[in-house]
Amino acid sequence: MSDETTPESEPVVPEAAVELPVMDISAPPEVVEHRLGQFGVHGSPDVSGYGGLVTTVVLPGASERPYGGYFDEVADDLQAALGADFNDAIEKIVVDRGQLTIHVKREHLVSVCQALRDDPMLRFEMSLGCSGVHWPGDAGRELHVVYHLRSLTHNRFVTLETTCPDSDPHVPSATSVYPTNDWHEREAFDFFGVIFDGHPYLTRIQMPDDWPGHPQRKDYPLGGIPVEYKGAVTPPPDERRWYS
């Protein structure tokens, strides 16, 4: 028996395990709101117990190349897939907290989704759903819609984000590319009032059909219903005591 040993090959580190940058922001953050109190409540007492809290709400600015990890490859491959439409379709690319977010103009959302799904170098064939966000202070871009995509082929993740104003809350539906977003877009419509043009059946999914307004918007009133309990009454949130 030979005493010689075969050297072990170096372990292969999967691409997903590559350490990504925590923060790589080159453009200054965008200030969208100065929130008063813990929840930014307006028109009623701050029931969080402390009304002196002031929070500056900021959104990260565009990142500068190199992004790190596989992010540069995704950006290059998307640019190659979109060709001359890349600059018109993409507003900015942000790397923040180890996550790649591509900000897309709403009129180009479907074509960008199509490229991300079908291009062999990208192959983001799975959408994990979408969600709505309401930033009242982001003038002209108050409503945000965020899509989370995954490439099973390349084991990669990317986030798409698009916006629309309160005055024109329309975004193209992505269900023609990712049918799984059917119920997710209905939920964003139900709770935030985003209208997804081209959706096959855009109706409320959790609130009753005749429910007034969209309850997850930040300008939606707290309301509340008095509840009796053993002779005591719990007032609605906007009538409880508060501390100055």
115/104 Cα distance (integer angstroms): 13
C-beta separation of 94 from 61 below 8 A: yes
Looking at domain 17-29+60-211, its CATH class is: alpha beta
The alpha helices in 102-244, defined as continuous H runs, are 109-118, 182-192
The verdict on pTM exceeding 0.85 is no
Dihedral sign computed on CA atoms, order 147, 129, 197, 165: negative
24/65 Cα distance (integer angstroms): 9
C-beta separation of 32 from 135 below 8 A: yes
Residues 6+ apart with CB under 8 A from 27: 61, 62, 63, 64, 92
One pLDDT digit (tens) per residue for the chain, 244 residues = 445 544 454 544 444 433 433 434 467 888 888 777 666 666 655 555 555 778 888 888 999 999 999 999 999 999 999 999 999 999 999 999 999 999 999 999 999 999 999 999 999 999 999 999 999 889 999 999 999 999 999 999 999 999 999 999 999 999 999 999 999 999 999 999 999 999 999 999 999 988 999 999 988 876 666 555 666 666 776 676 655 4
